[in-house]
Structure 1
Amino acid sequence: MELLLQSSTSSTPLYNSSVPLNTSGNTSIDRFMEINLIEILGPKRSPFFFPVTTIYLLIFLTGLSGNLLTCAVIAKHKKMRNPTNFYLVSLAVSDLLVLMFGMPLEIYDLWENYPFRFGEGGCYFKTFLFETVCFASILNVTALSVERYIAVVHPLKTRYLSTNQHAKRVITVVWVVSMICAIPNTSLHGIFYLPERLEESAICTVIKPVWIYNLLMQITTVSFYFVPMMIISMLYFVMGIHLGKERRQFRRNLGKNCCSSTRRKISAESGRRRQITKMLSC
């Protein structure tokens, strides 16, 4: 986007000589600025503002109510305060941050593409917020998948690896790592002005060299998309194989043994498998 703006500013004259003079014989500078800004930056208000805003409002109402209810129910009922639900609360918090802070900024951008009226601080906040919640959501899902993997494949380790305190520590690390990883991209952004620092042309965009931004995006894509996707896929693949073996072993035991003690063991194993299946479907 920065290259587009730079090329546009270098090839488009700042003032349009075709605009007529006013009655006093002086050029209407405000009118010239408005015309040139529209030519370079496009319309100030998105033509899709009303339909997109309507969709955003629906998402806002649905997401706000759903995530608040998730947090409230888990906070109210002590029985639901388990590691899995703590990860769900963390995911709900990341969604709430986007809904309450990020979505209003997006709607404002649709209403007024430029100038960006919140200054450099607002630009940094906007970029940092979206980067942090995106990374936190991905890492939360990955950590939740690891917790489920331990519960299914290594159930004996759940006593000291799948505890509430351990989950809280992991979630804290997830958010700290997410905030640290959001700093590089945030530092590349800032307020861009057209020549002569026209205040009306201020936009929040990448102001550092584009090659640095592209390199950072490649690293981020690999680290926070491909790697987590591979880890999650492998974990669920191993869990599927493990559950398949347990099911086949369960059927063999059911066919070979019919005594009461074996039935009790099979019933207990069946209850455990149902609990695991319920956990995986959350």
Structure 2
Amino acid sequence: MSLAPDPSDANATAAGSDLHASGPTLPAPLSTPDDASEASLAPPDQLESLELLERFKPLVVLLYALLVTAAIVGNVLLVGAIARVKRMRTVTNFLIGNLAASDALMCALCVPTSLAYVYDPRGWVLGRGACLASLYLQPVTVHVSSFTLVAIALDRYSALVHPLRPRMSPRRCGLLAAALWLLGAALAAPALANTRYVRLPADGGEAEVALCEELWGARRERERVAHAAALVLLAYALPLAVAVAAYARLGVKLRARVVPGSVTRAQAERDRRRRRKTQGLLVAVVAAFALCWLPLHAFNLARDVDLSLVAPRYFGAVQLACHWVAMSSACANPLIYAWLHGAFRAELRRLFCCCRRGAAKAKAQSSTASLAL
């Protein structure tokens, strides 16, 4: 994944390298197959692909910097609003907070290191421990986000179908969140087991290159493809299918249901509108996740089926673009909440007003001190 000298030299091949990752990490533009039967990019095409990435380096770095900043700030504000505003402390919002925490963690710890790895000619410079942590945390956080969306959908379905049943207690919410993280960690365990940190010795005056990749080896190619397909099914397609089915059924029930405790037709209609608005917000969250991750999953599928489906010259650029779109899902939730959730908008306005008043007060104190001098 580095713009370093081609890592497919004898040392990498002897180590059994196969730079095809099965998870959602940022894959390397270069492929280092173990035998001639495995599809790979020809060296001239590799060079063209790398030159294209290098040409657009300032734009790529800017786009990733904006994405990481927006995702971290937005998700931290969302978690803070849920913690501060009493009427936002619901089961659904607690799970949304768990989703925001996983997105913020991914953008803070995984995305910057992946981008640095792409453009640093020395490859991975952060050492073996950071290599293992980064390539493990990214699939864990993605799986947690996917499973949290399912938990939210099922919770909303239960709340509408069984409105008189007690909601989850804070303790049970915490246990559910912990279970989601454990499930995500377990599903990402094969990626950790196959992550390798390889240092390639200097050759002919070139600097030493360090690789940090998910390496399965050519002899285990079928196993890798099966694992990749299982991940798409278990951590993307199946969770989305469950969430879509739950919200579709909710939509049918919302049109026909009279909310218990609604004593008048007008009150029942207000309750129905409020529930529809909440459902619309959550459906938007699911749709954003599905659309953002679709290009990367489609790219990985095309790569596994036939590497030549993507023009070799644009292989690295398409790879990077799909990864950026997938990572942008981390920015979606704060934007959707700011658009559709009144309490979150009110908390943002309050926060910004406080910041402006604080800045004005500090400026006034500074001016007073200057006059006193």
Percentage of pairs with the same residue: 21
Q: 1:230 to 1:6 in 2, by over 3 A?
A: closer
- After the TM superposition, which parts of structure 1 deviate over 4 Å for at least 4 consecutive aligned residues? 196-199
In 2, Cα distance between equivalents of 1:92 and 1:156: 29
Partners of 2:196 and 2:213 within 8 A in 1: yes
Counterpart of 2:24 in structure 1 is none
In 2, Cα distance between equivalents of 1:217 and 1:146: 26
SS for the counterpart of 2:140 is helix
Counterpart of 1:274 in structure 2 is 273
Q: Find the partner of 1:58 among 55, 66, 79.
A: 66
Q: Is 1:216 the counterpart of 2:227 in the alignment? A: yes
TM normalised by structure 2 equals 0.57
In 1, Cα distance between equivalents of 2:121 and 2:79: 34
Amino acid aligned to 1:168: G
Q: What is the CA-CA distance between 1:52 and the residue it aligns to?
A: 0.9
Partners of 1:46 and 1:113 within 8 A in 2: no
In 2, Cα distance between equivalents of 1:48 and 1:186: 31
In 2, Cα distance between equivalents of 1:106 and 1:76: 33
Q: What is the CA-CA distance between 1:121 and the residue it aligns to?
A: 1.9
SS for the counterpart of 1:149 is helix
Q: What is the CA-CA distance between 1:263 and the residue it aligns to?
A: 9.1
In 2, Cα distance between equivalents of 1:187 and 1:113: 26
Counterpart of 2:176 in structure 1 is 170
Q: Find the partner of 2:192 among 186, 189, 204.
A: 186
In 1, Cα distance between equivalents of 2:262 and 2:221: 67
- Counterparts of 1:117-132 in structure 2, within 5 Å, are 117-132=125-140
SS for the counterpart of 1:202 is strand
Q: What is the CA-CA distance between 1:79 and the residue it aligns to?
A: 2.6
Q: Show structure 2 runs of 5+ residues with no match.
A: 1-17, 21-30, 37-45, 282-373
What do residues 13-50 of structure 1 show as CA deviations (whole Å, max 9, x unaligned)?
A: xxxxxxxxxxxxxxxxxxxxxxxxx97x957x843321
Partners of 2:99 and 2:145 within 8 A in 1: yes
Q: What is the CA-CA distance between 1:135 and the residue it aligns to?
A: 0.1
Coordinate RMSD, CA, aligned? 3.4
Q: What is the CA-CA distance between 1:244 and the residue it aligns to?
A: 2.2
SS for the counterpart of 1:191 is strand
Higher relative contact order (CA 8 A, sep 6+): 2
SS for the counterpart of 1:205 is strand
Q: Is 1:207 the counterpart of 2:223 in the alignment? A: no
Q: 1:6 to 1:201 in 2, by over 3 A?
A: farther
Q: Find the partner of 1:115 among 109, 123, 130.
A: 123
Counterpart of 2:237 in structure 1 is 226
Q: Is 1:241 the counterpart of 2:252 in the alignment? A: yes
Total equivalences in the alignment: 242
Q: Is 1:103 the counterpart of 2:102 in the alignment? A: no
Counterpart of 2:334 in structure 1 is none
Q: What is the CA-CA distance between 1:147 and the residue it aligns to?
A: 0.8
Q: 1:64 to 1:42 in 2, by over 3 A?
A: closer
In 2, Cα distance between equivalents of 1:62 and 1:167: 27
Q: What is the CA-CA distance between 1:197 and the residue it aligns to?
A: 8.4
Q: 1:125 to 1:246 in 2, by over 3 A?
A: same
Amino acid aligned to 2:250: M
Counterpart of 1:150 in structure 2 is 158
Partners of 1:193 and 1:203 within 8 A in 2: yes
| More helix per residue | 1
Partners of 2:82 and 2:88 within 8 A in 1: yes
Q: Is 1:5 the counterpart of 2:5 in the alignment? A: no
Q: 1:110 to 1:263 in 2, by over 3 A?
A: closer
Larger Rg, first or second structure (1 or 2):
1
Q: 1:106 to 1:207 in 2, by over 3 A?
A: closer
In 2, Cα distance between equivalents of 1:8 and 1:227: 35
What do residues 224-251 of structure 1 show as CA deviations (whole Å, max 9, x unaligned)?
A: 112112111111111111122237x9xx
What do residues 41-81 of structure 1 show as CA deviations (whole Å, max 9, x unaligned)?
A: 957x8433210110111112222221111111111222321
Q: What is the CA-CA distance between 1:93 and the residue it aligns to?
A: 0.6
Partners of 1:132 and 1:181 within 8 A in 2: yes
Amino acid aligned to 1:56: Y
Q: What is the CA-CA distance between 1:210 and the residue it aligns to?
A: 2.7
In 2, Cα distance between equivalents of 1:271 and 1:166: 30
In 2, Cα distance between equivalents of 1:238 and 1:193: 53
Partners of 1:192 and 1:207 within 8 A in 2: no
